[in-house]
């Protein structure tokens, strides 16, 4: 009886799993390994020491994304067509060399050409379009956006919180060390984060570090770097920060999920691939309230999968791949199951998505000033109309009785003179 019951449950479970069909996937990843974005003044390694200069994808970064493409091919081998189909996948990147090249390397691993798609026998690669917009116009994949006065105010408030002051006080010796050793005149916490990034890139490429850069110093700088992500997207007024930053991308993703949940036999798109930065991944995860407080590593990948059941209901599953040696780890949206019903996913994420970001970005004083100006304009117009009406009434009251006859006399006289 026990074995029969177990067999029955397994059969039912298999049927339930079979009824749940993957219909759409959003993949957001950070670019691969790169050269540093800049050097500090006393850095012994300047831009000329890097083959392609600052901020460029390295060959290791290319391999990382080629491997990530292989991972995605393995994960979605049944879901995606084996050969590239432009109607199945859309790819967008920020307008940086390293993100564009990461997307291209990823696609090389995801869609190795076969059959008619081979255009040169010795080349296991095919061109696949990657779309972008000029960086000055980027509002979806590049964070934090600097066009929001309210967000800048929130960041200023964050830097006056007890937690921020305690952490920066605790690591004041490291901040002073960086100031003394790097030649930076103004050593802010942001500068310290930048110096860590430079040293980290150099260490990954086996460049000799200055004597002051010990393992202990690097670990403390790493802690400060992670704290920087928490400051930017995290602990203080998290939800409001999300509405002004990562919530923009989350809103677009939620809109696409809701659209894709409705069956449409004419629709063939299955995957949206987004190639961006560590700050993009952190901003999106913060808006979902699943950010772990650590800088997303190279080629880290946030996956959002949409499933539809035979009964018409839809659900969303989150996965995060931040280590190439393990499978993507499931993430649980707070307040929902691992397989989160779409309607619950939309409800839970709604507070992190702004309906009018431009309005929310205004400072409270700016909003009041605008209202005052509008009120003054309206009041002035009403006052002007009132004055015109009053003048008209006064003029009408002053007009002599029988004035029509008087005008006729003048007309008669005028006629006689002519």
What number is the average pLDDT over the span 233-238? 90
- When pLDDT is cut at 50, 70 and 90, the band that residue 188 belongs to is confident
Q: 367 lies in a domain? A: no
Q: 417 lies in a domain? A: no
Q: Annotated catalytic residue: which of 31, 45, 65, 277?
A: 31
Partnered with residue 301 across adjacent β-strands are 29, 321
In CATH, what number is assigned to the domain containing residue 158? 3.40.50.1240
Q: 382 lies in a domain? A: no
The residue count of the chain comes to 418
User: Is residue 131 annotated as a catalytic residue, yes or no?
Assistant: no
d(CA 32, CA 152): 29
On the question of pLDDT at 187 being above 90, the answer is no
Kindly list the distances between the CA atom of residue 367 and the CA atoms of 245, 248, 349, 384, 407, in Å, as whole numbers in the listed order: 20, 22, 26, 26, 57
The pLDDT of residue 4 is 46
User: Is residue 358 annotated as a catalytic residue, yes or no?
Assistant: no
Q: Which parts of 259-300 are beta strand (E)? A: 271-276
Q: 413 lies in a domain? A: no
On the question of pLDDT at 329 being above 70, the answer is yes
- When pLDDT is cut at 50, 70 and 90, the band that residue 396 belongs to is low
Q: Annotated catalytic residue: which of 131, 186, 278, 355?
A: 278
For 2-6, 8-12, 82-86, 172-176, which range has the lowest pLDDT when averaged over its residues? 8-12
* pTM for this entry: 0.83
Q: 403 lies in a domain? A: no
Q: Work out the number of other CB atoms within 10 angstroms of the CB of residue 29.
A: 28
Q: Strand 89-93 relative to strand 21-30: parallel, antiparallel, unpaired?
A: unpaired
The pLDDT of residue 17 is 46
The pLDDT of residue 64 is 97
Q: 312 lies in a domain? A: yes
What number is the average pLDDT over the span 289-306? 97
On the question of pLDDT at 3 being above 50, the answer is no
Q: Which two tokens stand for residue 249?
A: 């991308």
- When pLDDT is cut at 50, 70 and 90, the band that residue 378 belongs to is low
Total structural domains within the chain: 1
d(CA 272, CA 28): 8
Q: 378 lies in a domain? A: no
Q: Strand 21-30 relative to strand 271-276: parallel, antiparallel, unpaired?
A: parallel
Residue-number span of the structural domain to which 183 is assigned: 15-355
Q: 99 lies in a domain? A: yes
């Amino acid at each position: 009886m026990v074995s029969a019951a177990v067999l029955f449950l397994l059969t039912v479970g298999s049927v339930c799993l079979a009824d749940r069909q993957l219909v759409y996937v959003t993949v957001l990843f950070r670019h691969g390994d790169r050269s540093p974005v800049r050097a500090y003044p006393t850095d012994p390694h300047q831009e000329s020491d890097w083959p392609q200069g600052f901020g460029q994808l390295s060959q290791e970064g290319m391999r990382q994304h080629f491997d990530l493409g292989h991972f995605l091919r393995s994960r979605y081998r049944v879901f995606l067509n084996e050969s590239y189909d432009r109607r199945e996948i859309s790819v967008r990147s920020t307008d940086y060399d390293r993100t564009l090249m990461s997307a291209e390397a990823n696609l090389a691993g995801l869609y190795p050409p076969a059959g008619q798609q081979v255009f040169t026998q010795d080349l296991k690669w095919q061109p696949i379009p990657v779309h972008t917009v000029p960086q000055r116009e980027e509002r979806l994949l590049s964070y934090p956006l600097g066009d929001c006065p309210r967000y800048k105010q929130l960041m200023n408030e964050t830097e006056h919180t007890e937690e921020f002051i305690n952490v920066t006080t605790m690591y004041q010796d490291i901040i002073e060390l960086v100031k003394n050793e790097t030649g930076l005149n103004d050593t802010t916490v942001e500068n310290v984060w930048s110096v860590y990034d430079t040293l980290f890139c150099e260490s990954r490429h086996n460049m000799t570090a200055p004597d002051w850069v010990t393992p202990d110093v690097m670990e403390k700088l790493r802690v400060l770097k992670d704290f920087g992500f928490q400051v930017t997207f995290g602990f203080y007024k998290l939800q409001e920060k999300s509405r002004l930053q990562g919530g923009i991308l989350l809103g677009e993703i939620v809109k696409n999920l809701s659209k894709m949940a409705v069956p449409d036999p004419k629709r063939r798109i299955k995957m949206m691939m987004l190639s961006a930065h560590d700050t993009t991944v952190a901003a999106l995860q913060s808006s979902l309230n699943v950010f772990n407080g650590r800088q997303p590593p190279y080629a880290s990948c946030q996956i959002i999968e949409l499933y539809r059941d035979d009964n018409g209901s839809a659900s969303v599953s989150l996965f995060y791949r931040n280590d190439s040696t393990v499978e993507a780890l499931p993430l649980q949206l707070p307040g929902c199951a691992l397989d989160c019903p779409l309607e619950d996913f939309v409800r839970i994420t709604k507070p992190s998505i702004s309906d009018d970001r431009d309005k929310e970005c205004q400072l409270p004083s700016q909003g009041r000033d605008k209202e005052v100006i509008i009120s003054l304009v309206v009041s002035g117009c009403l006052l002007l109309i009132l004055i015109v009406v009053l003048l008209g009434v006064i003029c009408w009251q002053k007009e002599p009785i029988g004035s029509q006859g008087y005008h006729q006399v003048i007309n008669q006289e005028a006629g006689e003179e002519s």
